[in-house]
Chains A and B, each alone.
Chain A
Amino acid sequence: MEAVLLQVLAGLATGGIYASLALALVMIYQATHLVNFAQGEMAMFATYIAWSLVNAGMGYWPAFLLTVLIAFVLGVLIERVVIRPVENAPVLAVVVVFIGLLVILNSVAGWIFTYTIKSFPSPFPPALGIRYMSPHQVGALLVTLIVLALLYLFFRFTPLGLAMRAAAQNPVSSRLVGIRVGWMLALGWGLAAAVGAVAGMMVAPIVYLDPNMMSGILLYAFAAALLGGIDSPGGAVVGGLVVGVLENLLGAFVIGNELKLVVALVLIVGVLLVRPSGFFGSVQVSRV
């Protein structure tokens, strides 16, 4: 029984990280109706920035905050420079752009920082650890929950958050009330990149830092977003936690650690086959 509890708690800790990245995916999806395949690589790149800052002698938390800020600006820039021109292009063109971004970010990171695996510091003091969880697991879960709470408060209670939600669901009406929809999309990219950066910095001490560190994590995040419903932010969070726990339990007791990633893939295929709208997503009906 204790072993199960241990795995569940560890699952919640990684699940929180999947949840953040899944949330980033959902935020972009809501605005563009496309899944950003480069979301993981954007997070990886941001984590390298954090690593450079820490290595240059900056304290962890100042580096953390500065990285989130830089990631936000980079996210806005990517939307303005790369995504904007293909705004009205066919779906496949945009998907190709996403994949291009993925490859570019991956290669540039390898070029600048080399493919050597690096360790990334965990900022949490040993005192944070509890009986069944390491200090980093507790800390990562706390940071994730704080980020999610901040996002919720922002979207729920600020005029800008409301305008961003409006722009995502009804751009035409949004323009008619004077909302600059283009900027709202760019802000959405910035926020998603910032959330992804946090996920990257929280997961890096566990998986270590290398240009391919997010490829597995992104798959879990996809599974999480789909399970919760790709257009539901709350669903992404629940999905992330469920996927984290499920992956850990199955890995520990059923299929073994080597096949863990299969859990994500089976979930993706399973959800798409059985219930494409996920737990909390809305069913899309279109007249043809």
Chain B
Amino acid sequence: MTALLEVADLRASYGTTRVLHGIEFSLGERSITAVLGANGAGKTTTLRALCGMVRTEGEIRFAGQRIAGRRTEDIARLGIAHVPDGRGTFLYLTTEENLRLGAYARKDKRAVARDVERMYAYFPRLKERRRQQAGTLSGGEQQMLAVSRALMLAPKLLLLDEPSFGLAPLVVRELFGILRAINAESGVSMLLVEQNAAMALELADHACVIETGRVVIAGTAAELKRDDGVRRAYLGY
């Protein structure tokens, strides 16, 4: 496994409150890694740190380059797309404008047009609503739009912050099925932060657990599913 992303001794703070105390993990190409943990453990902050949205110290290497301390927009241009906490929809723009913005950093116009159609094929609901203001979409549709917008960057790595949040179980199942298909088709790696540990471990091939700003367990998804501590704390049986 060649590592696409390597994180070592990653620390981050909000003001004087340190939230990450030396996160360490790596993630391979074409892989899906789940990050599990309780509320406030530092999962969202980890994703934010990878994108330069919080002040960080430590080492982050992406596709061989050091990206720690770089600006968010430059990191995005290197090929890291982020579906943020709260979805980050451009509420006053149309669905299609949201998708086009996702591809803003790309220059290959024809491929972009093709990718818009590809997103509509994954999520036909978005095509029905292409000219509608994104703020009028339902929660599930907005989540699909957020994922599509991120994929429009044609990223090497997709960061997903709680894509299941606020969605009906059936919609979550559908969304995760599509994520798996996209991973298999285009080989984009995914780093998935989830509260819904059972579903996340279904989708992921690797996983790690974060507790109070540190990685406490890491391994393949199958290993974590068998781990007694993980099972009791996050899977609830």
Beta-carbon contact of B76 and A178 below 8 Å: yes
Given contacts A159-B100, A172-B84, contact A177 B92 (CB under 8 A): no
Cβ A163 vs Cβ B101 within 8 A: yes
Set of chain B residues within 8 Å of A177, measured between Cβ atoms: 76, 81, 101-105, 149, 152-153
Number of A-B residue pairs at CB separation under 8 A: 69
Instruction: Report the separation of the CA atoms of residues A212 and B193 in the bound assembly, to the nearest whole angstrom.
Output: 58
C-alpha spacing A179/B132, complex, angstroms: 23
User: A178–B88 contact, CB under 8 A?
Assistant: no
In the complex the two chains form, what is the Cα distance from A165 to B94 in whole Å? Answer: 12
Give a binary string over B113-138; 1 marks a CB under 8 Å from any A CB, 0 the rest.
00000000000000000000000000
One digit per residue, 1 when the CB lies within 8 angstroms of any chain B CB and 0 when it does not, for chain A 162-193 equals: 11011001101111111111000000000000
Asked if A166 and B73 sit within 8 Å, CB to CB, the answer is: no
The answer to whether B89 and A173 have CB atoms under 8 Å apart is yes
- Chain A CB within 8 A of B51 CB: yes
Known: A176-B76, A176-B82, A179-B73. A159 touches B104 (CB 8 A): yes
- Tell me how far the C-beta of B14 lies from the nearest C-beta in chain A, rounded to whole angstroms: 15
Q: How far is the CA of A8 from the CA of B50 in the complex (A)?
A: 59
B29 within 8 A of A: no
**Closest Cβ of chain A: how far from B197's Cβ, in Å?**
26
**Contact indicator A173/B90 (Cβ below 8 Å):** yes
Identify which of B71, B89, B93 contacts A165 (C-beta below 8 A). B93
Which residues of chain A are within 8 angstroms of B172 by Cβ–Cβ distance? none
Q: Considering the complex, which residues of chain A in the window 174-218 have a beta carbon less than 8 Å from any beta carbon of chain B?
A: 174-181
Q: Is B72 an interface residue (CB 8 A)?
A: yes
In the assembly, what is the distance between CA of A170 and CA of B51, in Å?
A: 16
Q: Is B67 an interface residue (CB 8 A)?
A: no
Give the total of B residues in contact with A, Cβ under 8 Å. Answer: 28
Q: Are A169 and B92 in contact (CB under 8 A)?
A: yes
Asked whether any CB of chain A lies closer than 8 Å to the CB of B9, the reply is no
Which residues on A sit within 8 Å (CB–CB) of B102? 177
Chain A, Cβ-Cβ closest to B159:
A176
User: B217 contacts which chain A residues (CB < 8 A)?
Assistant: none
Interface string of B163-205 (1 = CB under 8 A from A): 0000000000000000000000000000000000000000000
CB neighbours (8 Å) of A165 from chain B are 92-93
Q: Complex Cα distance A162/B96, Å?
A: 11
A209 CB to nearest chain B CB (Å)? 39
- Cβ of B61 under 8 Å from chain A: no
Give the chain A neighbours of B91 by CB distance below 8 A: 169-170
Nearest residue in A to B79 (C-beta to C-beta)? A178
Whether B88 lies near A173 (C-beta < 8 A) is yes
Taking the complex as formed, is B77 at the interface, i.e. its CB lies under 8 A from any CB of chain A? yes
CA distance A159 to B76 in the complex (A): 17
Select from chain A the residue with minimum beta-carbon distance to B92: A169
Report Cα–Cα, A31/B83, bound state, in Å: 23
Within 8 Å CB of B3, what residues of A?
none
Contact B53 A166 (CB under 8 A): no
Give bound CA distance, A172 to B83, whole Å: 11
Interface string of B9-22 (1 = CB under 8 A from A): 00000000000000
13 residue pairs from A and B, CB less than 8 Å apart: A159-B100, A162-B97, A162-B100, A162-B101, A169-B92, A173-B84, A173-B88, A175-B53, A175-B71, A176-B51, A177-B103, A178-B73, A179-B73
